[in-house]
Amino acid sequence: MWHGRFTKDTAKTVQDFTQSLDIDWRMYEADIQGSIAHVRMLGKTGILKPEESAKIEAGLLKVLDEIREGKFTPSESLEDVHMNIEARLTEIEPLGAKLHTARSRNDQVATTTRLYLRTRLQALSDDLRGLLSVLVSNAERHIDIIVPGYTHMQQAQPVSMGHYWLSWFEAFYRDSQRLKFALSSLNECPLGAGALAGSTLPIDRFMTSEILGFDRPTRNSLDTVANRDYMTDYHYFASVFMIHVSRLCNDLINWNTQEFGFIVLPDEFCTGSSMMPQKKNPDVLELARGKAGQVIGNMLDLMITLKGLPMTYNRDLQEDKRGLWASLDTVEAVVKIIAELLSKVDVDGELALAGLEKGYSLATDVAEYLVMKGVPFREAHAKVGKLVGWCIAEGLAFSDLTIEQWKEHIPEADPAMMGILSARESVNRRNVYGGTGFAQVRRQIEEAKGRM
């Protein structure tokens, strides 16, 4: 009915192939919200009579009620959410045929998508703040527990478990800033850009922008209908967030194994085996780790679609939302369940400390002690490294050595050095800004609370 140029109806196969209801019907509220702003502007500028504008708005609200109440079922023959709503509006109120004045589906789609995405990202921002809060709470709970810090999956140096949780606070806090940028980049109003060149009618783009809560209208009509940068900004946030989630999950999965054993996962977030009665599998963590690839793939999907498109609008862009919705649904689910799981994670501090005492994670402390006695660091490094090799050959830990054995290998060793050879003292002495010293971790916790 809207395609007056054509003499034949669209083929059913084409309708099935080109429809986007499965993608965009979820945006019905945002679409009606944008249409109400548009028709109010048409009435205010005199393009429509005020009474016409009011009747159309009333009709739109009735359509919204019908959808919410399940009384209105959209038709694929009308392609998308936008056409379905306009068609039903016109059935209710014939003046609805004037709604599309000074508007194209190009700027309409762009506006509807931004409105919908903005609402979802604002909610996601709240959920992410909840995750940050859990990490700070965990840091407070576990500040006095000492665990091995790893590089290359080898014990490196002892750290406060609170310091570990705060490392993820920093990562996810940066993600929150990326999400904030994604929100700001979409908060311009496309309405009035038309198909690509604006309108000859005396519309007021600033009015519609203000009604819809955007910061401003978009600045260039060509760019408006072609732009999907704001989606890539979201996808970049989502991809980096899921990379962080995946790495965190990987740590917890490893540390929950019997070989490590110092992380205790809540039973209600694990599953058993269909065959092996003893199993407690970290399925939630594994699934969250596995979903990271899907989210990253959705970002690449959109970028590859965009890279070959000419200015301005092309129907390829209809597919921009399929991966976007999948990513949103995944990230929203992950941030909630990971926050809940982390709030119930426990740490076996005794087991973690026992594992540290069997190794040589205090080797750097010894080398730095020697530096304070005037030994060049490279020389101190070599001496301690040779001692470690001898201990491994003899099957001894640092805690097994007497002062005489220390002095045999490192003449500069003295009884005072023996006082630093504990994991707790090692952590406590790392009282440098950003370090794992207990005083620094407490400072970081307070700072993190302020930043949230």
The enclosing domain of 70 has a CATH number of 1.10.275.10
The SS3 call for residue 412 is coil
Asked whether the beta carbons of 154 and 363 are under 8 A apart, the reply is no
Paired tokens of 380:
């101190």
The kind and range of the H/E element at 286 are: helix 283-307
Q: Where are the alpha helices (DSSP H) in 395-437?
A: 403-409, 415-418, 423-428
pLDDT band, residue 357 (cuts 50/70/90): confident
Q: What is the pLDDT of residues 90-114, one digit of tens each?
A: 999 999 999 999 999 999 999 999 9
Distance in angstroms (rounded) separating the CA atoms of residues 285 and 163:
21
Record the pTM.
Answer: 0.94
* 117 and 81 within one domain: no
Domain count of the fold of the chain: 3
| Identified catalytic residue from 75, 184, 273, 399 | 273
The enclosing domain of 441 has a CATH number of 1.10.40.30
Residues contacting residue 397 through CB under 8 Å, at least 6 positions apart = 357, 358, 359, 360, 391
What would the mean pLDDT of 377-390 be, rounded to a whole number? 96
* 248 and 127 within one domain: yes
What would the mean pLDDT of 128-137 be, rounded to a whole number? 98
273 catalytically annotated: yes
125 catalytically annotated: no
* 293 and 208 within one domain: yes
pLDDT band, residue 234 (cuts 50/70/90): very high
* pLDDT(2) > 60: no
Distance in angstroms (rounded) separating the CA atoms of residues 203 and 356:
71
87 part of a folded domain: yes
Q: Which of 73, 101, 129 is the last residue of a domain?
A: 101
The kind and range of the H/E element at 329 are: helix 320-342
Strand partners of residue 158:
148
pLDDT of 1 reads: 47
* 219 and 125 within one domain: yes
The SS3 call for residue 283 is helix
* 288 and 173 within one domain: yes
Q: What is the pLDDT of residues 389-448, one digit of tens each?
A: 999 999 999 989 999 999 999 999 999 999 899 999 999 999 999 999 999 999 999 999
pLDDT of 7 reads: 76
pLDDT band, residue 3 (cuts 50/70/90): low
* 436 and 349 within one domain: no
* pLDDT(18) > 90: no
Distance in angstroms (rounded) separating the CA atoms of residues 440 and 108:
52
149 part of a folded domain: no
Q: Which of 295, 326, 353 is the last residue of a domain?
A: 353
The SS3 call for residue 28 is helix
* 250 and 166 within one domain: yes
* pLDDT(45) > 60: yes
* 165 and 303 within one domain: yes
The enclosing domain of 340 has a CATH number of 1.20.200.10
318 part of a folded domain: yes
Q: What is the DSSP letter of 281?
A: B
Q: What is the DSSP letter of 49?
A: -
Paired tokens of 424:
């707790």
The SS3 call for residue 153 is coil
How many Cβ atoms from other residues are within 10 Å of residue 408's Cβ?
13
Asked whether the beta carbons of 60 and 72 are under 8 A apart, the reply is no
Token pair 């129907």: residue:
315
Q: What is the pLDDT of residues 70-94, one digit of tens each?
A: 999 999 999 999 999 999 999 999 9
* 220 and 268 within one domain: yes
Q: Which of 353, 369, 400 is the last residue of a domain?
A: 353
To the nearest 10°, the Cα dihedral for 99, 319, 77, 3? 50
* 258 and 194 within one domain: yes
pLDDT of 16 reads: 82
315 part of a folded domain: yes
Paired tokens of 75:
């038709």
Asked whether the beta carbons of 240 and 179 are under 8 A apart, the reply is no
The CA-based angle 423-427-428, given to 5 degrees, is: 115
257 part of a folded domain: yes
pLDDT of 218 reads: 98
Token pair 């910061």: residue:
215
378 part of a folded domain: yes
What would the mean pLDDT of 185-197 be, rounded to a whole number? 98
Question: What domain range includes position 208?
Answer: 106-139+158-353
Average pLDDT score, the chain: 96
* 225 and 130 within one domain: yes
150 part of a folded domain: no
Asked whether the beta carbons of 39 and 100 are under 8 A apart, the reply is no
The CA-based angle 212-334-336, given to 5 degrees, is: 75
| Identified catalytic residue from 3, 77, 133, 152 | 152
412 part of a folded domain: yes
Give the residue from 84, 68, 101, 312 showing the smallest Cα distance to 208. 101
Token pair 């730095």: residue:
368
Strand partners of residue 159:
147
Residues contacting residue 104 through CB under 8 Å, at least 6 positions apart = 193, 194, 195, 196, 225
pLDDT of 377 reads: 96
Asked whether the beta carbons of 141 and 166 are under 8 A apart, the reply is no
pLDDT of 64 reads: 98
Q: What is the DSSP letter of 131?
A: H
How many Cβ atoms from other residues are within 10 Å of residue 163's Cβ?
25
Residue type, 118: R
DSSP string over 160-192: EHHHHHHHHHHHHHHHHHHHHHHHHHH-EE-TT
To the nearest 10°, the Cα dihedral for 193, 195, 198, 204? -50
* pLDDT(359) > 90: no
Paired tokens of 60:
């739109």
* 323 and 389 within one domain: no
